[in-house]
Amino acid sequence: MDRPPYIEVIHDNKESKLPQLVYMSRERRPSSPHRFKAGALNALLRVSGVMSNAPYMLVLDCDMYCNDPSSAKQAMCFHLDHNISTTLSYVQFPQTFYNVSKNDIYDAQSRSAYQNKYQGMDGVGGTVCAGTGYYLKKEALYSTPINQDNMTTLFQKAQLEYKWESQLYQSEESLQEAEEKFGASRKFINSLNHQRNGRENVLCDEMIDEAKALASCTFEENTRWGKEIGYSYNSLLESSYTGYLLHSKGWKSVYLYPKRPCFLGCSTIDMKDALVQLMKWASGLVQVGLSKYSPFTYGLMSKMPLVQNMCYGYFMFSHFLSIPCFLYGIVPPLCFLSGTPLFPKVTSPWFALFTTIFLSSLSQHLYEVMSSGGNLRTWWNEQRIWIIKTVTACLFGCLDVLMKWLGVAKANFRLTNKAIDEEKLRKHEKGKFDFQGAKLFMVPLTFLVVFNVICFIFGMKRLVLERNFEEMFGQGFLSFYVLVLSYPILEGLVVSKKQK
């Protein structure tokens, strides 16, 4: 894509109560890296700094809209609270979707994350930034939080954070220091300390030209954008990674889950798009977890609370569960087929321990589902899709990181398809899985399902002939449980063969 920067003032609120509306399209050149969504947000930060210079901004994905006009008021209740405002970086709302079916077979609502894990993290310093549906304090992207006890006025706060702003750049040295960090724009540098001489005319050619320069490809060259200030360029999950860095610097965040959804979006309605989206998240989180900014190294040395750091570690490394889950889909069925005991006998006390752990895990999940307004069907759907996603999207996400590390693959921003297809929509509403277009993800799924079917059939034959029920009951039950979870995959394989 090759285009120049474009700025258009759609509505100027100079003589109207309606808010100012400006359209921005940043410059894109094949020879210059555009930094994906992070680059777009950083360009927006700079342009909005000289056009309106509001201290807060709302970040929404293109497929989401505001469902409650009071969302800004709800967020400002926290941002303007003098007890927490000096360290508060953003107020996060949950991702909620308007097209989720009653069954929600793909777990599009991410109930476990938004209704359990995120609310838990809210009590230990703040939750993960979801990338959409949050009100951000711009200042958090430029500085570190100042202790309220040491802050008397906004001007003193600016002096502590930006020593070159103590006076309005009377020395060439202070101006050069600011330009090396933020870029060669005096107007934008002045906006960081809310320095504006009266009301500037955003319609004048000078202001438009300044905004275009801020949205150009070359403006960030030899600056600290994407490194120390603004959204970070070190991960394709720019918001989640930037939120992690903000918490590491000592900033806090708030998770707000109102009864009426403040923002609604469009969820994926087929298996391919759901897995592609999760694979992108898994790859981005694992990449950060294995970098020098890992919670186990950088996070422990930062200002982040230990429990919050452990939560980030869970989100970044939980995708490695795909490896033991994949092995669990191979080793127990293979041992069941060969008649090799893997678990204790039914009469052994150790078998009771295995049973207790297994049932307690299922019971805990069921309690979480029921306490958050779900039912048995929700619980079963989450059990089923978790297994499917773990051995496909999470596994491929980990492999994607490995391939990038080896230099086989390059960083690629995968857009999630949100277009509504009538046939897919009918299947989604009926609660039937749609595997169309997910051939790559179907490879490990098909292998595991077919392998488990074969091992279960011939393993049961051996079990009946040898009558060693006490030794092989655990493996037989586990294979049967996996097959029951895999029923939609078997159904999808049969349907696809009929269509051929």
Regarding beta strands 21-25 and 6-11, do their DSSP bridges make them parallel or antiparallel, or are they unpaired?
antiparallel
Q: Do both 229 and 326 map to the same domain?
A: no
Identify whether 336 is part of a domain. yes
* CB-CB contact of 13 with 20 (8 Å): yes
Q: Among residues 327, 311, 320, which one has the least CA distance to residue 398?
A: 320
37 is in an annotated binding site: yes
- Kindly state whether residues 363 and 251 are assigned to the same domain: no
**251 with 323, same domain?**
no
The answer on 350 and 210 residing in a single domain is: no
CB 316 within 8 A of CB 282: no
> How far does the chain reach from its first CA to its final CA, in angstroms?
39
Residue 106 covered by a domain: yes
Among the candidates 261, 285, 308, a domain finishes at 261
The domain that holds 131 is classified in CATH as 3.90.550
Tens-level pLDDT at each residue, the chain (500 residues)? 789 999 998 888 777 777 888 999 999 998 888 899 999 999 999 999 998 888 999 999 988 999 999 999 999 999 999 999 999 999 999 999 998 888 889 998 899 999 999 999 999 999 999 999 999 999 999 988 865 444 444 444 444 444 434 444 445 677 788 888 999 888 898 888 765 444 566 678 888 999 999 999 999 999 999 999 999 999 889 999 999 999 999 999 999 999 999 999 998 888 888 899 999 999 999 999 999 999 999 999 999 999 999 999 999 999 999 999 999 999 999 999 998 988 899 989 999 999 999 999 999 999 999 998 899 999 999 999 999 999 999 999 999 999 888 887 665 555 565 556 677 778 777 778 888 878 888 889 889 999 999 999 999 999 999 888 888 988 889 889 988 988 888 877 666 555 55
The residue range of the domain holding 149 is 6-261
Distance between CA atoms of residues 43 and 217, nearest Å: 9
In a domain, 100, yes or no: yes
Asked if residue 245 and residue 327 are part of one domain, the reply reads no
Residue 257 sits in the same domain as residue 345: no
**Residues 212 and 323 reside in one and the same domain:** no
Residue 121 lies in a domain: yes
Three-class DSSP labels, 274-291 = HHHHHHHHHHHHHHHHCC
For residue 391, tell me if it sits in a domain. yes
Asked whether residue 491 is domain-assigned, the answer is: yes
Distance (Å, rounded) from C-alpha 46 to C-alpha 59? 15
The span from the CA of 289 to the CA of 295, in Å, is 7
Q: How many domains does the chain have?
A: 2
Same domain, 240 and 326: no
User: Model-level pTM?
Assistant: 0.88
Same domain, residue pair 415 and 351: yes
The answer to whether residues 341 and 488 belong to one domain is yes
Residue 450 one-letter amino acid = V
Q: What's the CA gap between 495 and 433, in Å, rounded? A: 11
> Which backbone phi and psi does 118 adopt, to 5 degrees?
-65, -40
**Looking at this protein, which amino acid is placed at residue 251?**
W
Cβ(122)–Cβ(255) under 8 Å?
yes
**Rounded Cα gap, residues 475 and 455, in angstroms:** 11
The answer on 465 and 369 residing in a single domain is yes
Is 146 part of a structural domain of the chain? Answer: yes
Which of the listed residues 233, 261, 289 is the one where a domain comes to its end?
261
Task: Please indicate, yes or no, if residue 282 is contained in any of the structural domains.
Answer: no
For residue 61, say whether it is annotated as part of any ligand binding site.
yes
The verdict on 166 and 25 lying in the same domain is yes
